[in-house]
């Protein structure tokens, strides 16, 4: 048996205990609901709405999650120092192990190198934010406990600027816009997220870079980091990410563009170094599979 303990963050405040626990542990809500959980030292029901600063402790059965093991998986390193790593996550690579997916992840890859991640839960050390498996691009990874805590706080305070490039269905009516709409679990499709009343605050900004008729190229910046946020918000305004099999509608469009994943790339990261305060900025070029789709959209041979 292993123990998970953490303090509820401001972003988690108001959410159900089983939802928060499932997200923290990388397990299903079904498993989370069966666990013995203490909140501030008292037995707590799975439906409890947690508050920021509360201390949560849960005992995880061995079958729920296993400690990840090092694996020789190549992941490009964009930047590294004693405090942190910035990696370029390839599309198709899951960020951390979860029940039913114990290996072959970014965490397994980073554990195999000298500059190992650290901080946070044992099954996802150093991971302060995530990208969907089908999304490529830049991620920050902590290398010690204090840096991990500082980065988590910076993300919560919206002090890390995260910018994506997305190719979307159709042409937005505005050149720039802000989507401020709460995101939560879809009441109709439990494996999907949706804009729902009572969801978590979610803010996305976009700017049109190029209009190409049936698709448009956008620069997208997120203030919050909810699950599937960019994909859900863009779909909500009628301009789903091209090639998105979950939130998009244009399967024929994806086929014409040769897309086998959503056209979404985390292209830029900006932050103050968590230890020194030095300004840091990183850019990651659009990978070849997305560049090829963009050339097709532009009508290039």
The CATH number covering residue 137 comes to 3.30.2350.10
In a domain, 273, yes or no: no
| pLDDT attached to residue 215 | 97
If asked whether residues 128 and 250 sit together in one domain, one would say no
Summarize the confidence of residues 146-160 as an average pLDDT: 95
Are residues 42 and 73 part of one domain?
no
Same domain (yes/no): 225, 119: no
Residue 99 confidence (pLDDT): 59
Residues 150 and 176 in one domain: no
Specify whether the CB–CB gap between 172 and 208 falls below 8 A.
yes
> What's the mean pLDDT in 219-226?
96
Whether residue 277 lies inside any domain: the answer is no
Total of domains in the chain: 3
* Residue 53 zone, left/alpha/beta (φ > 0; ψ -120 to 50; rest): left
- Verify that 130 and 82 share a domain, yes or no: yes
Task: Name the band, by pLDDT with cuts 50, 70 and 90, for residue 251.
Answer: confident
Q: Are residues 258 and 182 in the same domain?
A: yes
Confidence of residue 2 (pLDDT cuts 50, 70, 90): low
Average pLDDT, the chain: 91
Q: Are residues 228 and 152 in the same domain?
A: no
End residue of a domain, out of 20, 42, 60: 60
**Domain span including residue 243:** 162-266+289-297
Average pLDDT rounded to a whole number, residues 232-245: 97
Instruction: Quote the tokens at residue 252.
Output: 């024929």
Residue 279 lies in a domain: no
- Is the pLDDT at 1 greater than 60? The verdict is no
Least confident of 117-121, 125-129, 252-256: 117-121
* Confidence at 155, pLDDT banded by 50, 70, 90: very high
In terms of domains, do 86 and 12 share one?
Answer: no
Domain boundary among 157, 188, 217: 157
Q: When comparing pLDDT for 229 and 96, which is higher?
A: 229
For the segment 187-197, the average pLDDT, to the nearest whole number, is 86
Identify the pLDDT of residue 52.
82
Which of 134, 157, 180 delimits the end of a domain?
Answer: 157
Is-catalytic flag, 244?
no
Q: What average pLDDT does the segment 4-21 reach? A: 85
Identified catalytic residue from 18, 82, 132, 289: 132
Share of the chain above pLDDT 90, in %: 67
Regarding predicted confidence, which is higher, 228 or 100?
228
Residues 151 and 73 in one domain: yes
What six digits make up the tokens of 283? 């850019």
Ranking 33-37, 124-128, 142-146, 202-206 by mean pLDDT, the lowest is: 33-37
> What is the pLDDT at residue 41?
87
The pLDDT score that the predictor gives to residue 63 is 55
Residue 229 is predicted with a pLDDT of: 96
Distance CA 129, CA 87 (A): 12
Give the pLDDT mean for 68-92.
Answer: 95
């Amino acid at each position: 048996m292993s123990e998970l303990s953490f303090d509820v963050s401001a972003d988690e405040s108001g959410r159900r205990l089983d939802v928060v626990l499932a997200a923290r542990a990388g397990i299903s809500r079904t498993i989370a609901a069966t666990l013995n959980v203490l909140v501030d030292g008292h037995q707590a029901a799975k439906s409890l709405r947690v508050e920021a600063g509360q201390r949560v402790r849960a005992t995880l059965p061995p079958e729920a999650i296993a400690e990840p093991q090092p694996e020789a998986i190549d992941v490009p390193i964009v930047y590294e120092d004693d405090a942190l790593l910035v990696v370029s996550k390839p599309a198709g690579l899951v960020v951390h192990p979860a029940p039913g997916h114990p290996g072959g992840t970014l965490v397994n890859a980073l554990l195999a190198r000298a500059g190992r991640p650290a901080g946070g839960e044992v099954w996802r050390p150093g991971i302060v934010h995530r990208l969907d498996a089908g999304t490529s691009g830049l991620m920050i990874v902590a290398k010690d406990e204090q840096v991990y805590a500082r980065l988590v706080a910076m993300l919560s305070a919206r002090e890390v600027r995260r910018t994506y490039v997305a190719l979307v269905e159709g042409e937005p009516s505005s050149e720039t816009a802000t989507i401020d709409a709460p995101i939560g679990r879809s009441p109709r499709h439990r494996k999907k997220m949706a804009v729902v009343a009572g969801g978590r605050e979610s803010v996305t900004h976009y700017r049109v870079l190029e209009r190409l008729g049936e698709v448009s190229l956008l620069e997208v910046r997120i203030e919050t980091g909810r699950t599937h946020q960019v994909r859900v918000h863009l779909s909500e305004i009628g301009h789903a990410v091209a090639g998105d099999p979950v939130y998009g509608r244009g399967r024929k469009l994806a086929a014409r563009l040769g897309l086998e994943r959503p056209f979404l790339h985390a292209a830029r990261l900006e932050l103050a170094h968590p230890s020194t305060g030095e300004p840091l900025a990183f850019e990651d070029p659009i990978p070849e599979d997305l560049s090829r789709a963009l050339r097709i959209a532009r009508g290039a041979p």
